[in-house]
Structure 1
């Protein structure tokens, strides 16, 4: 499949794809959509930002579909994209996320819908309260599966998958012919990496899946330059401001450990005349949406966030992602989805007497003294990590 015309989608759906603005299928879409139309289970391993979302939206035309995402923000973005298709196809979509009234969400489900897009925790709550029943679910999607597991939602995911009927599983024997009159459960699992917990879920709930790998699994996206800057405590905030002064018309995300620290930094930067907003789980859903929309529209050019923003937001023109004294290294290939930009710089700005996070200590560059990292072939420069001591 090199173009949408070769996709075997119906003419009606092709018109919807065009209206939604998907001009050319991405590599993951080329493979996953055709496999889904054959009722094959799919494991898509692709770097974040590789247009996986539309790969499963096109398959959401069964009697009932469930899409699970790790965060509210990502679930709502999936909902926005899905509605573009649903509007023209007469499909009703309901988003089930935290921070909103579960009673209202349950009422929407009971009114009838074909597609539910949810975070695992809120969806399991709806199932336990009998607001939702999944006995007609034939299509299930786990988007950003590794992040879902990282956030501790494996038990909730298992609970949701176990609530679906087992009678519509495909035969375990790959050679056994499928009954053309039946609709089997089709499962899509998309992930930037494949940790053991994700593989465990795949073995239990997917039947003879086709693994589609775009790029290299467990490898950071090719568009990130990484820097570590170690400074005295008194110079840490001035160095941050120096990085922010380089933004011009672009934006920056600053990750910090706690909600309290995020609010304090925001006030400090506001006093220094930066246009700042914050994002953390201490804010209501409405406040989080207002912050993100202001950041997208560049009413704010600096987003100070806890790792709730580590994945699942889609923002153009992000120039810097700055890890400010965070106790662990934010996974930058995941953050890339937030940064819809040709290239961005990832900085870890930490105090010179701080312990080195284990993720950094294991990095290849730590084998060398500062400034002595040998040259590498051009294609490897995206893994380059420069360590500066600013004292």
Structure 2
């Protein structure tokens, strides 16, 4: 017996439906891949529907295009009697065809009206069909793909010109018109184009007074242009005449050459030798020697010295200081009476002091290039030669004497020389003389000078006319100049005592190395390791001779030089225990290329002008930053580049801070990380009263 089916339980169905709704309402966790699949299916479905809608609209448009269209001249229109098909106009066309019997034209109008209605209905059907599949046209965008900003692959701005970006309209009639040639008023043919157009606009817009107003505008512009030309504000100082230079031009000029001046009534620097106010005969010698362009110290110092001003010149070594004080000196003594039998024993007119024999001989050689053609005598007085020999050289007198302080004091004490008519004093490398313990001899020499022609310590010392006059007879005011690379306190004290209202010229920053020297430092402890590293540097072939190696102790010179010779390099040695002949021979062999490497103490740190030194090696770091500056100044001279390599150890802690500072100020050098992080390089060490700079310690002239 078949079981009877019971009717469904309504409450149970309702409960089941509520449970399904509750279950559907609960958030269901879907894995990421499932979500991506559902999203892809939805996107595909939407794309398919969009494609169907577009195809429907495209089909509707094609159907609409296939249907015939008629117009006034369409194919289905009836032509008139002459085949023109024109619709009649005038009162006859307004009459009903039933009234005038013109059935032909009336039928034509009815057919046109029917066709227009049919076309309108088709357009509506197409619009409805488009709305059915595409939706209503609301908020229709005017976006154009062609106007969309294109982006390059690197997401950078595209500077290329797209032809569709061209907004010009070449076929527009307004662009077809061209302006007529400007009306050129007589006398204003060279006026700027913009001003001429403005004047032309005024002339055309105002028929009555436009001509006069345009002329006034052009005249005003010409006056302003001429005033600007007179001031030459738009020209560089190198393009201007000397009389057109303004304060702004001189400021730019000084910045270009790193010139800084202090003091009252300081003249402007010279831009070239022709503007230096040197005598023509002396200028010819300058060009003959080969000084094509003056150096910064020469540009600033020579005009000041020619005004009989006392001068302090602070410049790095190798900057051309020798010519900076020699040329004004020669001008000065050229105005004095020549030496004869009556005054040749009264001493020289000019005295040049230098700290080392080598520097004295270098200055003497440079001075003879200019002095001997002018008829002046130059004599050097240095140690290493007998006093009798030097007295013989002075037998006929000398206008210029170049000397070291120690030997010159010996000549004064033995009455071989007097300074009765000396009126021009130059102290070259003054800081070095103080550093070598020459303060006392220097003071004796300056005190031996006559006081009758000493300048007053007033504002008159800044007046070039007063200081250039004669003090009765042949005497003139004494002129004193000091050249130095640094300004330690002892040098400042001497300058304050013996110089009167001096002008101070600083080239670059005092105490800093030149920017043409690349400074490298290496921490290497022990003599043996340093010798191996020195051998690697020399064998690398990166540096051409001549090369200078600096050490601190004389006996180390011989040891290091012996090792370098064993490596196959011809070597010369220079230190304080060498005789004068040995010193001269060592420098001469280096200059002539007979030896490749010079091993020296600080004796060669200053005043040694060996051309084209490519490398300086500080086998031992200098005991002061001033000595280090002058050591590395042996390379990178005369505008050429050079390299300085310094070996450092724990014994150099006192100078590491100053070394870090001086390297960090160089534009071509980099402070190594080991030096930057070194404990001793973080702060400046405190020294006692007897340390550091100077006196007669191990850095004195005797020990070297």
The normalised TM-score by structure 1 is 0.90
1:76 to 344, 361, 365: 361
- 1:122–1:387 Cα change, 3 Å: farther
Q: Deviations over 1:329-386 (max 9, x none)?
A: 5623323442255222222224x5x4234112444479xxxxxx9xx8xx75445332
Does the Cα contact within 8 Å between 1:65 and 1:139 map onto a contact in 2? yes
Q: Is residue 2:595 matched to residue 1:309?
A: no
CA separation in 1, counterparts of 2:563 and 2:502? 51
Tell me the residue number matched to 2:537: 243
Superposed displacement of residue 229, structure 1: 1.9
* Alpha-carbon shift at residue 243 of structure 1 (Å): 1.3
Distance (Å, rounded) in 2 between the aligned partners of 1:361 and 1:335? 18
2:634 counterpart of 1:345: no
2:429 is the counterpart of 1:144: yes
Label 1:362 to 1:10 Cα distance change in 2 as closer, same or farther (>3 A). closer
Question: For each residue in 1:86-110, what CA deviation from the matched residue of structure 2 results, as whole angstroms up to 9, or x when unmatched?
Answer: 1111000000111111221122223
Structure 1: gaps spanning 5 or more residues:
367-372
Q: Say if 1:232 and 1:124 are closer, same or farther in 2 by CA, change over 3 A.
A: closer
Alignment check: 8 A CA contact 1:36 1:42 kept:
yes
Which structure has the highest helix share of the two?
Answer: 2
Equivalent of residue 401 in structure 2, options 107, 113, 116: 116
Match of 1:265 in 2: 560
| Equivalent in the alignment of 2:577 | 282
Native 8 Å contact 2:516 2:636 kept in 1: no
CA contact (8 A) 1:124 1:156 kept: yes
Equivalent in the alignment of 1:66: 351
2:594 corresponds to which of 277, 294, 299: 299
CA 275–329 in structure 1, closer or farther in 2 if over 3 Å, else same: farther
Q: What is aligned with 2:631?
A: 335
Structure 2 residue matching 1:166: 3-state secondary structure: coil
Question: TM-score scaled to structure 2, two decimals?
Answer: 0.51
3-state SS in 2 of match to 1:212: strand
Contact 2:513 2:632 in 1 (8 A): no
Unmatched runs of 5 consecutive residues or more in structure 2: 1-269, 337-348, 676-704
Q: Which moved more, 1:219-228 or 1:106-115?
A: 219-228
Aligned equivalent of 2:389, options 96, 101, 104 = 104
Given the superposition, is the C-alpha separation of residues 365 and 139 from structure 1 closer, same or farther in structure 2, using an over 3 Å criterion?
closer
Deviation at 1:13, TM superposition (A): 1.4
Partners of 1:228 and 1:387 within 8 A in 2: no
Return the offset for 1:2: 1.1
Q: C-alpha distance in 2, partners of 1:226/1:25?
A: 27
> 3-state SS of the aligned residue for 1:50?
coil
SS of residue paired to 2:523: strand
1 or 2, which has the higher strand percentage? Answer: 1
**2:634 and 2:529 mapped to 1: Cα distance?**
28
Question: What displacement does 1:235 show?
Answer: 2.2
Contact 2:632 2:644 in 1 (8 A): no
| 8 Å CA contact 2:621, 2:652 repeated in 1 | no
Bigger Rg over Cα: 2
Task: Work out whether residues 146 and 191 of structure 1, in 8 Å CA contact, stay in contact via their aligned partners in 2.
Answer: yes
RMSD between aligned residues = 2.3
Distance in structure 1 (CA, Å) of the matches to 2:661 and 2:318: 26
Counterpart position of 2:419: 134
Shift of 1:310: 1.1
Report the CA distance shift for 1:236/1:128 in structure 2 as closer, same or farther (over 3 A): same
- Partners of 1:253 and 1:321 within 8 A in 2: yes
Count of residue correspondences: 377
Residue aligning to 2:619:
324
Q: Structure 1 131/205 Cα, relative in aligned 2: closer, same or farther at 3 Å?
A: same
What is the CA–CA distance in structure 2 between the aligned matches of 1:290 and 1:100, rounded to whole Å?
15
The secondary structure found in structure 2 opposite 1:117 is strand
2:454 matched residue in structure 1? 169
The separation in 2 between residues aligned to 1:363 and 1:36, in whole angstroms, is 34
88 and 362 in structure 1: CA distance in 2 versus 1, 3 angstrom threshold? closer
Structure 1 residue runs of 4 or more that deviate by more than 4 Å after TM superposition:
none
- Structure 1 Cα separation of the partners of residues 521 and 318 of structure 2: 24
User: Match of 1:203?
Assistant: 496
**Structure 2 residue matching 1:303: 3-state secondary structure:** strand
The answer for the alignment partner of 1:369 in structure 2 is none
